[in-house]
Chains A and B, each alone.
Chain A
């Protein structure tokens, strides 16, 4: 009987044992749905907000409408629903009864006729961020009106309009609708890393801290197998669970983008290519070993199943948080980023989901780096299991 046969025996036992642990299995799969669920929720809720805000008329309470009939007419032409402001508009804005109000003082008409700057007041509460799209729309409209009147006045005095346009600004938005909507997909690498760490976690804890807590580690280690064989067998047994969990998450993502009518919520269809999802799956595979080896080392120091669970629950945040930051601070997939295990993969996943061309060198480098780090961690785990203290990490001493 050689080492690999014994590793096979250990692998099969751990797989069967953990497969029968239905409670852990189902809770892992339920956790794996959190990512796809969150993204779906964001599309439905945030998408809904963006879309309706842009289309519905801006409701603008105005005090002193009679003082500026032309301005009111201009606003109405520009999709503004002008309503009467409450008696004390300042208090109403401060209390949040209305998000903004326009106050046109009685002196407005006089100043306007004299050609003086006629002041109006836009009442806002800058601490209320939900109001900001409305506020900026109102501000833009008022500035547009001011610009329009100013231009007309210059024209009336025979001034060539080009003299006031020192710089001509033309904004060209190059983002496709697809890339704007990708803000939702930027969360995907974060959730996938969580899944990679989560998938095999129950199996690893059961095979390490759980084994010790049950009192089955001492008799197990009396069997004629080298410690490295136990470590490798137990580590490999976590892989099928992680693979299934990752597949489960990716299929859930795929189904969401295939069957949920995203165009209803964000005005466009979000699609994810099946081939891209397949590539994402393959890129995740080397990270499973990394996750399991790290968890094995951490769980070795835990006194109990519960303690191991607490430590390992936090562990995925370390590699996943940079990925979350990526959703807001885009980093280009340069070669150096591929040298950092898990970070490189998150960039690659991002590229694949966006349908960008991925540099094969980057895939190779990130995979090799991840496997190399995994090998080092597995070596450390084996060293830990070779120590005789492995039996005695027990809270009772």
Chain B
């Protein structure tokens, strides 16, 4: 369960967030849709405690991101904007490092890693150094290390960025499986079709503000549009920075 209330954040003159509020529930996929520069990444960074909001609050499973950062970090798995790997370590070692930082060790850790390698179909690459991995292979490692401690809440920043059609489809499968396992999944995207296809709940964000928040049906009803994508454009007022 992720709760964001009235977040404000400025970087010098740039007012990145101007009162962002929404909630993401367990067992649901919540999409954060907005054009580039809308404030999606900033919102997620507040949630994974890398940024402190100027005003407002963010909490994960009841833990406040500002005052209880370590607890929040234990309860989330994140695929942030930057997803670099250690190229001199193997895929398995990359995942193990994050598991150890999360406090796992021994057989429990190794079993968890093995499970993720199976889930993400990484057997062939698991014990290779990540130097020279394709974008899709790198993303799998980044997802696996984010999920190594089996977090209840999963935050994904533009997870299909740079993936080919097959890779993007596999990614969506993973997201659905996380939902079916009762995780709270929050992912950001500027691709309307992807959000429309996946999300149980959609938060539309532009210029650092939440423009609309609801289920796909609620959004269609509110705008009177037949297609969800037309509804998005109607709400934001422009198609700029979005992708169909």
User: Which residues of A are in contact with B by a Cβ distance under 8 Å?
Assistant: 1, 6, 9-10, 13, 16-17, 20-21, 211, 214-219, 221-226, 388, 391
Task: Tell me which of A16, A219, A225 contacts B82 (CB under 8 A).
Answer: A219
Q: In the assembly, what is the distance between CA of A21 and CA of B131, in Å?
A: 12
**B146 surroundings in chain A (CB, below 8 A):** 219
Q: In the assembly, what is the distance between CA of A224 and CA of B71, in Å?
A: 7
**Min distance, Cβ B118 to any Cβ of chain A, angstroms:** 22
Q: Do the beta carbons of A222 and B80 come within 8 Å of each other?
A: yes
Q: In the assembly, what is the distance between CA of A6 and CA of B49, in Å?
A: 19
Across the interface, name the chain A residue whose C-beta is closest to B77.
Answer: A222
Q: Is there a chain A Cβ closer than 8 Å to B100's Cβ?
A: yes
Across the interface, name the chain A residue whose C-beta is closest to B51.
Answer: A388
Q: Is there a chain A Cβ closer than 8 Å to B102's Cβ?
A: yes
**A21 surroundings in chain B (CB, below 8 A):** 88
Q: Do the beta carbons of A224 and B80 come within 8 Å of each other?
A: no
Q: Which of B48-80 contact A (CB under 8 A)?
A: 48-52, 70-71, 73-74, 76, 78-80
Across the interface, name the chain A residue whose C-beta is closest to B71.
Answer: A224
Q: With A9-B97, A9-B100 as given contacts, are A216 and B48 in contact (CB-CB < 8 Å)?
A: no
**B80 surroundings in chain A (CB, below 8 A):** 218-219, 222
User: Which residues of B are in contact with A by a Cβ distance under 8 Å?
Assistant: 45, 48-52, 70-71, 73-74, 76, 78-89, 93, 97-98, 100-103, 142, 145-146
Q: What is the total of A-B residue contacts with beta carbons within 8 Å?
A: 73
Q: With A223-B98, A224-B101 as given contacts, are A388 and B52 in contact (CB-CB < 8 Å)?
A: yes
**A219 surroundings in chain B (CB, below 8 A):** 78-80, 82-84, 98, 142, 145-146
Q: Do the beta carbons of B73 and A222 come within 8 Å of each other?
A: yes
Q: In the assembly, what is the distance between CA of A388 and CA of B45, in Å?
A: 10
**B145 surroundings in chain A (CB, below 8 A):** 219
Q: Do the beta carbons of B88 and A20 come within 8 Å of each other?
A: yes
**B73 surroundings in chain A (CB, below 8 A):** 222-224
Q: Do the beta carbons of A222 and B76 come within 8 Å of each other?
A: yes
**A6 surroundings in chain B (CB, below 8 A):** 101
Q: Do the beta carbons of B97 and A217 come within 8 Å of each other?
A: no
**A223 surroundings in chain B (CB, below 8 A):** 73, 98, 101-102
Q: With A16-B89, A17-B88, A388-B51 as given contacts, are A225 and B101 in contact (CB-CB < 8 Å)?
A: yes
**A17 surroundings in chain B (CB, below 8 A):** 86, 88-89
Q: In the assembly, what is the distance between CA of A218 and CA of B49, in Å?
A: 11
**Min distance, Cβ B68 to any Cβ of chain A, angstroms:** 11
Across the interface, name the chain A residue whose C-beta is closest to B103.
Answer: A1
Q: With A222-B76, A224-B73 as given contacts, are A215 and B101 in contact (CB-CB < 8 Å)?
A: no
Q: Do the beta carbons of A221 and B82 come within 8 Å of each other?
A: no
**A214 surroundings in chain B (CB, below 8 A):** 84-87
**A217 surroundings in chain B (CB, below 8 A):** 82, 84
**Min distance, Cβ A304 to any Cβ of chain B, angstroms:** 13
What are 19 of the A-B contact pairs (CB < 8 Å)?
A1-B103, A6-B101, A13-B89, A16-B93, A214-B85, A214-B86, A217-B84, A219-B78, A219-B79, A219-B146, A221-B50, A222-B49, A222-B50, A222-B80, A225-B70, A225-B101, A388-B52, A391-B45, A391-B50
Q: Do the beta carbons of B82 and A215 come within 8 Å of each other?
A: yes
**B79 surroundings in chain A (CB, below 8 A):** 219
Q: In the assembly, what is the distance between CA of A1 and CA of B101, in Å?
A: 9
Q: Do the beta carbons of A9 and B78 come within 8 Å of each other?
A: no
Q: Do the beta carbons of A226 and B49 come within 8 Å of each other?
A: no
Across the interface, name the chain A residue whose C-beta is closest to B105.
Answer: A1
